[in-house]
Structure 1
Amino acid sequence: MHKLDALLIGGAWPELMVAALNLLTRTGFTVDVISTNPLFKRNRSIRDYFLAKQNDVLLKIASEKVKREYSLVVIGDDPTLGKILHSDLSTDEKLALLPVTSKEHLAHVFSKTGLSQAFRKNGLLTPDFRIANDEEGLRNAARELGHPLFIKLDSASGGTGIFESSDPGDLESAIGRVKAYPVLVQKKVQGVEVSMEAFYQNGKLIHFAYSIPEKYKYRFGPTTVRRFIQLSLLEQRVFDDLGLLGSALGAHGFVNISSIRSSIDGNLYFFEADMRPNLWLAHPRYFGDDPARVIRTYFLTGATLEQPYPFDVHYPPEILLPHALRVGWGDLLLNRYQVWKHLPENFFYFILRYRVWAWARQNMVTLYRCLLPKPHRAIIKAYLASMKYSLWGGGRQ
């Protein structure tokens, strides 16, 4: 019997960390956690828990802990990917933590420019693009590509740092919102967005889900409702493209992939591949294709994804699924999309902690600002700062 140990690192996005932890434990992993969030302190499904309140502490613990031979290391959010990638750790230490197979594949981790270059270099269809290092380079890139286009900050996530320019008239407005370079200037491909949550090992495709986003929290932001399609109904090229993508990126873990199904030629154009899981990673279990079962089979037998993929007659060809942590209050209360059937683990905790409390805190801040004008707030802050300085002995000769 194989012993499966996993190390989960992160904390900036606690909902995603919990989703990843639940999938890993259902898969059969014994899980250790290094987190910047105290949420996991009393979680009984964790073997060893380490709270790292500072970046250098997280990196130190991670570099020591990973010396143990884990079957799988999972990074739970983009900020943690960035911390590790840009740290002073050695290349070997970074590779032990990050979900890629070699140092040649580090360039695309948490980098939109590096990712587009990797796609193009390896023959994957991707929207035409240019890389701009300053405002003038951005204007030149826009002229070469033509409109409509997107301007994307190199390291951004959650739909932030993306600006659309529909015509030359609003290009300057978009440029004015760019605060850091380089940026990716990308031609807009007309079509339907397709999302795929994949799991790779050593560049080999083990499992993936295929869905079409139906609703978003906000423009370019996370999706709230998706239409999932059984893998047996997909054309061969989807499997071939995802196999090529895994090899191109040296993927060694969870990858959150975004693409556009072109309305012109029908092909998939890949534009995003976050090297981490997302909140939808376990949703395939709601139509009989549980990734926990497939991933466990891989670690026990070495079996990779094969075709033809079986069609599950107990489920429809397509199924519309919501994410309970993302849909609005109205959808939750009215049970739209049968959301009550798809409540994730720890759902009520997250509703209280991250919705109700966030709502109450925002209202308290609003009330504070209304009752206390800005000049008076500055006076109070200055007074409190002087009191603290005095209490700690400041100013004594």
Structure 2
Amino acid sequence: MEALIIGEDTAWPIPALLARAGFAVDALMTTPAIQNSRFVRNVHITSGTRLPDQADQLIRTRGKPYDLTVASEDFTLWRIAEWERHRGRVSHCLPLVPGADRRVIHSKIGLSHALTDAGVPTPPFALAQDWEGAQRAARRLGYPVLLKKDCSEGGRGTFLCRNDEDVLRNRARFTETLLVQKYITGDEIDLSAIFLQGDLVHFSYSRFEKRISTFGPSSVRSFLPSNAAPRHVFQTLSTIGRALGIHGLTNITAIAPADGSDFQYFEVDLRPNVWADHSRYLGEDAAERIAAWYKERRVLAPAADAQATAYKPVRLANIARLSLLEIALNRHQARRHWRDPDAKLLHSILLGKAVNFFAPLGRLCVPLNMRPGVRRHLIAARLLPH
């Protein structure tokens, strides 16, 4: 089996996960840091604008598509989808089965419609082209609401509005059609899943404990085994995989409403996140489940006695999301992840974080005549592109 990782991110921890599942892993990336991964067979470095063309050329040279493709972030998915639209042909680079609906790619509006069409519970929503339309929609849905830009990530482009005045204060945001989505009080749940040919193969079950910003990525989560999830989660995730035709790793988020009703799904990104391999700390190895599907088409189903078992949450941090101070002080047992299977790649990410943090100080302290030498060292360490 062969897999291709495409994108502008480092893609940690995906190379190690795929290698454990039995894949030979190639990478087409814009960042040289991926060269630090010992699990990548071939590395191709290119620019962001050339990613789709280079991926198409790579697959054409091979003469066949990869068994699995992974986009490292949303913008790469959008680039590939736009490339397909302009070229009028399929690229074989998206994590979708042939003929699958492309409207869910990097589009909150498209996803909301697709989930509704599939009968998947999702927060009530409307579209607004201006602040007056947003106010009317918000009154109809009932405050509070979230205003969301259609194509945004990491919590950027999401604004909480509790009344008409809040909408008015955000009137400058209406440079495009915005999604007006009912804000539901409850716990945010990560159900990031792996689908192969639409089959549910694996998912992780965790609650957000700490975020980098208000609506941004999480840095600490409480994990439970997948069998601790309500049974309707298995059924709903299976519906999502089949309805959207997913063949790959996803980032799925839902709200567990405070009133105890069924989860409301609002995020299905067709790419993994940095938590993709954390379920192995609970004895649930995504790599083993991927390998089992390829060997005997085994799909994921809840254990018969799952709901009768008492499970204790496991609190885990993601070292790539923690601050340098938290890592230095070993907050949340951060350094337990230091001996990661792909340690060299992880360490290059953390070193890059340190370089970015100290860059302003470096510009003040490093003499002009020494800066070219410092840059050469950073390039040699694969922290900067050539």
TM-score bracket relative to the smaller structure: 0.7 to 0.9
CA offset digits 1:183-227 (Å, max 9, x no partner) = 110010111111111000121100000100000011101101101
The AA in structure 2 aligned to 1:191 is G
Q: CA deviation at 1:132?
A: 1.7
Q: Give the Cα separation in 2 of the matches to 1:98 and 1:201.
A: 13
Q: CA deviation at 1:91?
A: 5.0
**8 A Cα contact 2:134 2:167, kept in partner:** no
CA offset digits 1:90-134 (Å, max 9, x no partner) = 45423x111122445101111000000111111111111001233
1:359 aligns with 2:357: yes
Question: How many residues are paired up?
Answer: 354
1:364-383 equivalences in 2 (<5 Å):
364=362
**Residue in structure 1 matched with residue 378 of structure 2 by the alignment:** none
Q: Give the Cα separation in 1 of the matches to 2:152 and 2:22.
A: 33
The AA in structure 2 aligned to 1:39 is A
Distance 1:8 1:264, change over 3 A: same
**8 A Cα contact 1:32 1:49, kept in partner:** yes
**Residue in structure 1 matched with residue 249 of structure 2 by the alignment:** 254
Q: Give the Cα separation in 2 of the matches to 1:310 and 1:73.
A: 35
1:63 aligns with 2:61: no
**Residue in structure 1 matched with residue 109 of structure 2 by the alignment:** 113
Q: Give the Cα separation in 1 of the matches to 2:126 and 2:220.
A: 32
**Residue in structure 2 matched with residue 175 of structure 1 by the alignment:** 171
Q: Give the Cα separation in 2 of the matches to 1:154 and 1:103.
A: 23
**Residue in structure 2 matched with residue 21 of structure 1 by the alignment:** 15
Q: Give the Cα separation in 2 of the matches to 1:23 and 1:251.
A: 18
Q: CA deviation at 1:267?
A: 1.4
Selected match of 1:142 from 138, 143, 154: 138
Q: CA deviation at 1:317?
A: 3.2
Q: Which range is displaced more, 35-44 or 249-258? A: 35-44
The AA in structure 1 aligned to 2:151 is S
**8 A Cα contact 2:131 2:174, kept in partner:** no
Distance 1:333 1:309, change over 3 A: farther
**Residue in structure 1 matched with residue 79 of structure 2 by the alignment:** 83
Selected match of 1:283 from 278, 282, 287: 278
Q: Give the Cα separation in 1 of the matches to 2:210 and 2:179.
A: 25
**Residue in structure 1 matched with residue 232 of structure 2 by the alignment:** 237
Q: Give the Cα separation in 2 of the matches to 1:302 and 1:79.
A: 31
Q: Give the Cα separation in 1 of the matches to 2:195 and 2:37.
A: 27
Residue ranges of structure 2 left out of the alignment (5+ in a row)? 366-386
Q: Give the Cα separation in 1 of the matches to 2:278 and 2:241.
A: 21
**Residue in structure 2 matched with residue 385 of structure 1 by the alignment:** none
Residue ranges of structure 1 left out of the alignment (5+ in a row)? 369-397
> Considering only aligned residues, what root-mean-square deviation do their CA atoms show, in Å?
2.1
Identity of aligned residues (%): 31
Which is greater in Rg?
Answer: 1
**Residue in structure 2 matched with residue 7 of structure 1 by the alignment:** 4
Q: Give the Cα separation in 2 of the matches to 1:54 and 1:328.
A: 27
CA offset digits 1:242-297 (Å, max 9, x no partner) = 11111222211111011100112431000111110000000011111111111112
CA offset digits 1:166-186 (Å, max 9, x no partner) = 12222111222x153121100
1:34 aligns with 2:33: no
Q: Which range is displaced more, 239-248 or 271-280? A: 239-248
Q: Give the Cα separation in 2 of the matches to 1:184 and 1:203.
A: 27
**8 A Cα contact 2:128 2:180, kept in partner:** yes
The AA in structure 1 aligned to 2:350 is I
1:195-234 equivalences in 2 (<5 Å):
195-234=190-229
Distance 1:159 1:260, change over 3 A: same
**8 A Cα contact 1:9 1:35, kept in partner:** yes
The AA in structure 2 aligned to 1:219 is T
**8 A Cα contact 1:198 1:207, kept in partner:** yes
Q: CA deviation at 1:61?
A: 1.8
**8 A Cα contact 1:35 1:51, kept in partner:** yes
1:93-172 equivalences in 2 (<5 Å):
93-94=90-91, 96-172=92-168
Helix, strand or coil: the match of 2:250? Answer: strand
Q: CA deviation at 1:19?
A: 1.5
